[in-house]
Amino acid sequence: MADGMTWGGSPTAPGWYAVVVDYGHLPFPGARRWDGGAWDDERGIKAFDGPHDTAEAALDWAMERCPED
């Protein structure tokens, strides 16, 4: 799942990120804006890629790489 994403860790530059979110159920793609604050598993973020120019671009990238199961 989610080929090309960084699993674990946190971003180093503010912006929009493609993410895999898991709240204890089936993981799903999403987009999250990061401004330098908390970035951890409590928010359900398991993997990320970016930054992307817009939320739409981040979400499109995540959806292309997260197969529907």
Mean pLDDT over 6-11 rounds to 84
Query: Is 27 within a domain?
Result: yes
Model pLDDT for residues 43-65, shown as the tens digit of each residue = 688 889 999 999 999 999 988 87
Dihedral sign (CA 64, 28, 49, 66): negative
Single pTM value for the model = 0.79
Range of the domain at 17: 6-65
The pair of structure tokens assigned to 15 is 């912006």
Number of domains in the chain: 1
Statement: residue 4 has pLDDT above 80: no
Confidence at residue 1, expressed as pLDDT on a 0 to 100 scale: 46
**Span 15-42, pLDDT tens digits:** 999 998 887 777 788 898 988 887 765 6
Is 34 within a domain? Answer: yes
Specify the pLDDT at position 41. 57
